[in-house]
Amino acid sequence: MITNNLAKGVVAALSLIVATEAFAEQWNVSLWGKKRAFTEHVEKLAELVEAKTNGEFTLNISYGGLSKNKENLDGISIGAFEMAQFCAGYHRDKNPTITVLELPFLGINSLEQERSVAQAVYQHPAVVKDMARWNATLLMPSPLPQYNILGVGNAPKTLADFEGLTVRATGGIGKAMSAVGAVPTSMSASEVRQALDSGVVKAVAFAPHAHMSFGTVETGEWWTTNLNPGTVNCPVVVNSDALAGLSDSHRDALLGSVDAALDHYIATYNGKTMDAWGPVLADKGIAKITYSDAELATFKEVVSGPAAAAWVADNTAKGIPAQELYDLVTGLIAK
């Protein structure tokens, strides 16, 4: 009798383990660098999903252990991992539709506005189709403030001083730098500090959190306070097959947590990150360069219109409804 009861207990325990393992779901998430303001929404999403599913669905976040940041979209396309973050400017040819959000001087003036405009663009049929080529579904944006430039050596106190300046700048910001005679270079964020220290570049265009996270403030000597040439668009995407394969409850837990994750992200960036930025500049003795309204107006005139026209022409030639996407963005901003 004892033997039978023991056997029954073992069978019951094994059945429970098998059932639990069958019901459990784990996704691998490919990020880069380290946990920082830029990844707060992914971290919060993982926390919320695990809590909502009582640990049955977890997001296993890796910082650089799964893929290089410029290869995250490729990894998503082949199902090497289920979720990833990337920046549109890293490979404009792979995601041309969302590069509309990286055009210079769009006039977006808050993280909240950046979030709403990006989410509207992500839902456009042309964008959905574009990302489907990579078996990818856009999940949420990573709203970033306007980039500004931190550098070493002679500070560009006028727009003319940008002539010949080597600067790490991607996407539309790179176009803006070219328009005033600077020499933009595209490289991943993790390579920037070494490039600045070695003299490969003399300046770096980043949002404040990245200047702190990737150490450019350790050697920087000046910072442009109000150039505000634009920002980059760095979405979080999921493998479309993996998303479709989730149970209804797990899919609801994931998609239903996006808004709360973005709320947390924006609150953290507007508070903790920006509160720290001013003291960091003061502590490191970094000089602040502020441009006159006249210089900024000239910069915008030289850069904005031609960049938008070129983007529309280039992408229309590819069969993309580029003017429609551009009008969508500018119309939302105008509201």
**Average confidence (pLDDT) per 10 residues, the chain, 335 residues:** 50 48 83 95 98 98 96 98 95 96 92 97 98 98 94 93 94 86 90 95 93 94 92 96 98 98 96 92 95 90 91 97 98 93
Domains 2-143+233-273 and 148-231+279-334 share a fold: yes
Domain ranges of the chain: 2-143+233-273, 148-231+279-334
The CATH number of 2-143+233-273, from 2.60.40.1120, 3.40.190.170, 3.20.20.210, 3.50.50.60, is 3.40.190.170
The DSSP-derived string for 118-174 is HHHHHTSHHHHHHHHTTTEEEEE-------EEEESSS---SGGGGTT-EEE--HHHH
Q: What was the pLDDT predicted at 335?
A: 85
Query: Cα dist. 151→202, 241, 308 in Å?
Result: 6, 43, 27
Domain 148-231+279-334: CATH architecture, name and number where available: 3-Layer(aba) Sandwich (3.40)
| Amino acid residing at 160 | A
**Alpha-carbon gap, residue 38 to 266, rounded angstroms:** 10
Q: What was the pLDDT predicted at 23?
A: 64
Q: What was the pLDDT predicted at 24?
A: 87
Q: What was the pLDDT predicted at 55?
A: 97
**Alpha-carbon gap, residue 106 to 275, rounded angstroms:** 25
| pTM reported for the whole predicted model | 0.84
